[in-house]
């Protein structure tokens, strides 16, 4: 086979247009499963291969439709096999994990490779009793351990009783790619524990697709690496949708403690006869109520406040020792509940973990302490304390500095230098941008002037004007339309001003607190209207649907972006800006306020353009997207094509109508 394979692409106007082809190394060609590559895909592959082959990380932006999943896998697999490395592919959703397995199956047509999409114990478990007695992954693990120790989980017992079937399935999994749901199906028929089967097979599997937490949560990571019998230095880490990582890292490091938990900790202590802890929980809650219920919204507080409360009690000279003792008591309560076959939840344990974290972060300027008051669904005023992390690199740096190589990719990473600094990537990280593969005539991005969701402009007249523009888009779009708004407040205001009444298509609405299962059903029902006259979906920017769901073909023809999703200027946002300004002078506002908002807006805008054949209109209903301040941070494939229209009737209608008339 020749050293390089020349690639011919871009079918335009019925004729094959020969462009300057990118070159794919022969080793990659042995794994790349398709006869041709998409526009600019070869450039993406080569950038990843060259970086990883030189043990360098690569931060690479590539648009939707480029084929990033198969490209990154094909580029990394030959290096992983040559160097006996494992590929860990992290992504947010189960659908994205299964997509990795789909591409591995295509690769298997040329080269045999094993892979699995990994889900947590609570998702994999087939035992109905364990599922009923637990409400999160941590409690599920404890219930599972109890059932195993008492030898009353038949799925686990069958691992020994049907050892032959277990070993046969284990060998089968190590030979080719499987999704977790497929493994569950095997195990359901054989009544074997699917979680233990996957866990015992991981050390022999080359590619594992999994959630961010397995790698970036320090506690989970340490346990996981032991399970797969691998060190980070023997891992090629692929981070998909990497624009989500900073927020995920901050969430991993942050903690909260509500007044409700303190009340429950007091009741729990009384139930188990521990008057000392009951008195402490009551006193702490009483003192915190004075602070929390006296404020509106949220307020940054000094971390010494906990020590001052302890001094009032008078007999706690060693706070960390006292909190560690609370932790031990909480653990013993959980064990007792487990032994009685009850849900192993301890509020004392949760309280102690928060307080230990509070003390441990007191001298660290990358954390702030916040008190928040809010009203419950029952209209009662309550609140919570938070230890809020400000620096994602505290979580990301230990990982990125230890792996063999890292591949971080997304369609919305620019400016790359800012991303590299915020997450503290290795200094020799390659920063790469791959041009948009979409034909220009397939994308119509428009900004409408005269409209805005800026707080002072949120009037009834403004919302009615927006509804009129939305209706122009809906009326002239042949299939489905997605509306992604800056916040739930904007969403509710549009509905209150009569959005649904003016639309001539069914409206599917996301609401605050919607579960992932309900949202999936809603989106599926919406998609089905794509070839049945069309429907409208309205949700928020930064939500599940605006980032985690693809809408190829007629599943979404137009996306309407209503407003710039700036974070509400709460104390935590101001603290984030101040922290970045201190560490990156002159960039605090950009890193802490502008970039997060523009990434949410850009992700929403990309929903209708998922493949090279898709044709989509993207309408920004906020004049701020046309200003230099915002426009500079839109993806180049939008920015280069952006039209700016005046806020006049029928102009938008004509643009949309003409655009879709030209549809092939």
Under a CB-based contact definition with an 8 Å cutoff, are residues 91 and 240 in contact? Answer: yes
Q: Distances in Å between the alpha carbon of 247 and those of 120, 242, 310, 393, 583?
A: 21, 10, 33, 11, 18
pLDDT digits (tens, 9 = 90+) for 219-239: 989 989 998 999 999 999 999
State whether the Cα torsion 436-411-453-498 is positive or negative.
positive
Report the Cα 419 to chain-centroid distance in Å.
16
Q: What is the pTM of this model?
A: 0.88
Distance CA 350, CA 343 (A): 14
End-to-end CA distance of the chain: 39
- Percent helix, strand and coil across the chain, each to the nearest 5: 50, 15, 35
Structure confidence at residue 143 (pLDDT): 76
Tokens of 205: 């599997």
pLDDT digits (tens, 9 = 90+) for 295-340: 988 999 999 999 888 888 877 888 899 999 999 999 999 888 877 7
- 537 phi and psi, to 5 degrees? -115, 130
Under a CB-based contact definition with an 8 Å cutoff, are residues 326 and 352 in contact? Answer: yes
CATH number of 440-661: 3.40.50.300
If you write DSSP's letter for every residue of 221-264 in order, what string do you get?
A: HHHHHHHHT--GGGEEEEETTGGGHHHHHHHHH-EEEEHHHHHH
Structure confidence at residue 17 (pLDDT): 31
Distance CA 29, CA 384 (A): 55
Q: Distances in Å between the alpha carbon of 76 and those of 53, 82, 271, 545, 618?
A: 8, 10, 56, 30, 34
Q: Which fold has domain 255-389?
A: Fumarase C; Chain B, domain 1 (1.10.275)
Structure confidence at residue 15 (pLDDT): 30
pLDDT digits (tens, 9 = 90+) for 112-164: 999 999 988 777 788 777 766 666 666 677 777 777 777 778 877 887 777 78
What does pLDDT average to over the chain? 89
Structure confidence at residue 130 (pLDDT): 72
Structure confidence at residue 133 (pLDDT): 66
- Give domain limits for the chain: 120-202, 255-389, 440-661
Structure confidence at residue 20 (pLDDT): 29
Structure confidence at residue 183 (pLDDT): 87
Low-confidence ranges of the chain (pLDDT < 50): 1-22
Tokens 């624009």 sit on residue = 243
């Amino acid at each position: 086979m020749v050293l390089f394979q020349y690639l011919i692409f871009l079918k335009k106007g019925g004729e094959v247009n020969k462009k300057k082809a990118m070159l794919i190394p022969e080793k990659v060609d042995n794994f790349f499963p398709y006869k041709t590559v998409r526009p600019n895909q070869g450039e993406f592959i080569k950038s990843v291969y060259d970086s990883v082959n030189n043990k360098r990380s690569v931060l690479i932006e590539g648009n939707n439709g480029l084929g990033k999943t198969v490209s990154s896998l094909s580029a990394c697999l030959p290096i992983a096999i040559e160097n006996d490395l494992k590929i860990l592919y992290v992504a947010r959703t189960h659908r994205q994990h299964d997509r990795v397995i789909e591409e591995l199956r295509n690769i298997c047509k040329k080269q045999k490779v094993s892979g699995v999409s990994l889900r947590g114990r609570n998702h994999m478990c087939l035992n109905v009793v364990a599922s009923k007695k637990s409400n999160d992954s941590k409690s599920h693990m404890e219930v599972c351990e109890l059932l195993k120790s008492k030898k009353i989980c038949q799925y686990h017992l069958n691992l020994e009783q049907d050892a032959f079937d277990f070993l046969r399935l284990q060998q089968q999994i190590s030979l080719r790619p499987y999704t977790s749901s497929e493994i569950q199906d095997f195990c359901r028929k054989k009544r074997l524990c699917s979680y233990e089967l996957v866990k015992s097979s991981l050390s022999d599997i080359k590619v594992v697709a999994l959630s961010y937490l397995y790698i970036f949560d320090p506690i989970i990571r340490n346990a996981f690496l032991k399970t797969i019998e691998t060190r980070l230095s023997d891992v090629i880490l692929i981070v998909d949708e990497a624009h989500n990582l900073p927020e995920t890292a901050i969430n991993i490091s942050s903690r909260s403690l509500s007044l409700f938990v303190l009340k429950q900790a007091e009741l729990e202590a009384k139930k188990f006869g521990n008057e000392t802890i009951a008195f402490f929980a009551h006193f702490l809650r009483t003192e915190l109520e004075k602070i929390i219920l006296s404020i509106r919204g949220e307020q940054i507080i000094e971390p010494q406040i906990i020590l001052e409360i302890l001094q009032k009690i008078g007999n706690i000279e060693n706070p960390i020792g006292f909190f560690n003792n609370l932790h031990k008591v909480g653990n013993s309560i959980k064990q007792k509940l487990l032994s009685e076959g009850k849900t192993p939840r301890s509020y004392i344990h949760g309280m102690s973990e928060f307080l230990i974290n509070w003390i441990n972060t007191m001298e660290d300027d990358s954390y702030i302490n916040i008190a928040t008051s809010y009203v419950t669904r029952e209209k009662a005023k309550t609140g919570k304390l938070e230890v809020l992390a400000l620096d994602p690199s505290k979580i990301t740096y230990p990982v990125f500095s230890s792996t063999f190589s890292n591949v971080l990719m997304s369609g919305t990473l620019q400016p790359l230098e800012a991303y590299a600094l915020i997450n503290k990537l290795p200094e020799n990280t390659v920063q790469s941008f791959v041009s948009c593969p979409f034909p220009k005539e397939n994308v119509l991005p428009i900004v409408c002037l005269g409209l805005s969701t800026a707080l002072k402009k949120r009037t009834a007249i403004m919302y009615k004007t927006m509804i009129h523009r939305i209706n122009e888009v809906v009326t002239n779009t042949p299939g489905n339309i997605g509306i992604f708004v800056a916040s739930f407040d904007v969403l509710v205001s549009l509905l209150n001003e009569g959005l649904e009444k003016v639309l001539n298509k069914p409206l599917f609405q996301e609401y605050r607190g919607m579960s992932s299962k309900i949202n999936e059903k809603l989106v599926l029902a919406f998609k089905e209207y794509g070839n049945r006259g069309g429907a409208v979906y309205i949700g928020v920017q930064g939500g599940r649907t605006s980032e985690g769901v693809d809408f190829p073909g007629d599943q979404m023809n137009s996306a309407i972006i209503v407003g710039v999703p700036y974070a509400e200027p709460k104390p935590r946002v101001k603290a984030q800006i101040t922290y970045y300004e201190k560490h990156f002078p002159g960039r605090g506002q950009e890193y802490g306020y502008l970039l997060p908002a523009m990434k949410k807006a850009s992700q929403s805008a990309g929903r209708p353009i998922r493949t090279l054949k898709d044709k989509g209109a993207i309408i920004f209903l906020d004049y701020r997207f046309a200003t230099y301040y915002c426009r500079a941070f839109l993806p180049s494939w939008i920015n280069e094509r952006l039209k700016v229209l005046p806020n006049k009737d029928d102009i938008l209608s004509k643009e949309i109508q003409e655009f879709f008339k030209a549809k092939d």
